[in-house]
A and B are shown apart, each in its own frame.
Chain A
Amino acid sequence: MKLVRLSVNGETREFSGPLSVAELLQQLKAPRDAVAVEVDRQVIPRLQREAHMLQGGEQVEVVTLVGGG
């Protein structure tokens, strides 16, 4: 099994591959509602999460909405 090493929200972590963005979100137990994902500074739209495979070495940001002004 191939390990995929990623930076997720600024922290380096390893996941078992092959790994799509959708699978990454599942493994992270990220909330389903109001979440956006960026891979190497490009937003990955919801509909492409299944198809977008992570190779390793990417910088991933998983964001949501919090209180602000």
Chain B
Amino acid sequence: MSDDVLVVGGREFRSRLILGTGKYPSHELMRAAHEAANVDMVTVAVRRVDLTGRSGPSLLDFIDRKRVALLPNTAGCYTTEDALRAARLGREALGTEFVKLEVLGDEKTLLPDVVATLEATRELVREGFKVMVYTSDDPIVAAKLADLGAAAVMPAGSPIGSGLGVLNPVNLRLILEALRVPVILDAGVGTASDVTLAMELGVDGILLNTGVALAKDPVRMARAMAAACCAGHDAFHSGRIIKRLHGSASSPLEGHFAEPPRRGGA
């Protein structure tokens, strides 16, 4: 485990992995996955209360809110106005200033509308929110969001729920080079190596939902994602070796009884 913590909006998080609460086969499996990954922040969505009285137990009964922070999102909003409404409702319902802002541009790709995202970020920062903002992997937009006062900038590795991993590591590196606020990879993670790859590039954290929730064994996958997150973070801070074209033996050549083969002319 890495001993350093993730700081977002002045609050410390021990885990650099943030999990979602959607798409799990059951609330019980969700809770077990959260525990297996030892997360201390999970996302939730703002939706109408079921007034028919037929809804089952609340999702919130399966989250230890003393230990795990809830991050309300604006998922499914396609306009600045709807995203602002969702953010304000989430804050009112939970009493948290933190919001995961997402303003989508298109139902098919679920890619963000970055113009609306910039507008909504400006307004929510003005209203005192700690905005963790989902965006595309465009370094210019990411820098503008940071300039507007976002608490964390969260570029997509690939479309939400696609499991395609990090499609443009170069853009991610450019974002990391330019930004001082935490950069959290949000969306697209399919498996543990996607997490490790992003963390080795230097992102500060990972937010994912589908990759765990829809895995055949969500609990085991949650554990894998958490381990991958720590592994990538430690590797990034360890100063990896330079890549070389030729091999470099780990065992000494000196004192060896065998001669290397002679090949070629000389």
Seen from chain A, the residues whose Cβ lies within 8 Å of a Cβ on chain B are 8-11, 28-31, 33-38, 41, 43, 45-46, 61-69
Chain B residues in 8 Å Cβ range of A9: 48-49, 51
Q: Which residues of A contact B59 (CB under 8 A)?
A: 65-67
The interface residues of chain A lying within 8 Å CB-to-CB of B93 are 34-36, 63-65
Q: B58: which of A41, A43, A64, A68 is its contact (CB, 8 Å)?
A: A64
Which residues of B in the span 18-67 have a Cβ within 8 Å of any Cβ on A?
20-24, 30, 43-49, 51, 53, 58-60
For window 184-220 of B, CB contacts with A under 8 Å fall at: 187, 207-210, 213
CB distance from A4 to the nearest CB of B (A): 16
B261, chain A: closest CB distance, angstroms: 56
Judged by a CB distance under 8 angstroms, whether B72 is at the interface is yes
Give the number of residue pairs across the A-B interface with Cβ within 8 Å: 106
Tell whether B94 is near chain A: CB-to-CB under 8 Å. yes
Q: Pick from B30, B47, B160, B213 the residue with the most CB of A within 10 Å.
A: B47
Interface size on B, residues (CB 8 A): 37
* B121 contacts chain A at the CB level, 8 A cutoff: no
Q: Is A65 in contact with B70, judged by CB distance below 8 angstroms?
A: yes
* B237 contact set on A, CB distance < 8 A: none
Alpha-carbon distance A30/B59, docked complex (angstroms): 15
Q: Is B259 an interface residue (CB 8 A)?
A: no
The stretch among B6-14, B84-92, B141-149, B163-171 that forms the contact with chain A is B84-92
| Residues in A whose Cβ lies below 8 Å from that of B43 | 68-69
Q: List the interface of chain B (C-beta within 8 A of A).
A: 20-24, 30, 43-49, 51, 53, 58-60, 70, 72-73, 75, 85, 88-90, 92-94, 160-161, 187, 207-210, 213
Closest to A8 in B: B51
Contacts of B48 in A (CB 8 A): 9-10, 61-63
Q: Which residues on the B side are within 8 Å of A36 (C-beta)?
A: 46, 88-90, 92-93
Q: Please tell me if the beta carbons of A68 and B44 are within 8 angstroms of each other in the complex.
A: yes
**Residues B49 and A67 in contact, CB atoms below 8 Å apart:** no
| Structural contact, A69 and B73, CB atoms closer than 8 A | yes
State whether B75 touches A68 (Cβ < 8 A). yes
Q: B22–A68 contact, CB under 8 A?
A: yes
> In whole angstroms, how far apart are the Cα atoms of A10 and B24 in the complex?
27
Q: A38-B88, A65-B47, A69-B187 are in contact. List 15 more A-B contacts (CB 8 A).
A: A9-B48, A28-B49, A31-B49, A33-B58, A36-B92, A37-B92, A43-B88, A61-B48, A66-B44, A67-B20, A67-B23, A67-B24, A67-B30, A68-B43, A69-B23
A41 to B209, CA, bound (A): 29
Minimum distance in angstroms from A24 CB to a CB of chain B: 11
A10–B43 alpha-carbon span in the complex (Å)? 25
Chain A positions within 8 Å of B58 at CB level: 31, 33-34, 64
**Can you give 10 A-B contacts (C-beta < 8 A)?**
A9-B49, A31-B58, A34-B60, A46-B92, A64-B47, A65-B47, A65-B60, A66-B44, A66-B46, A67-B20
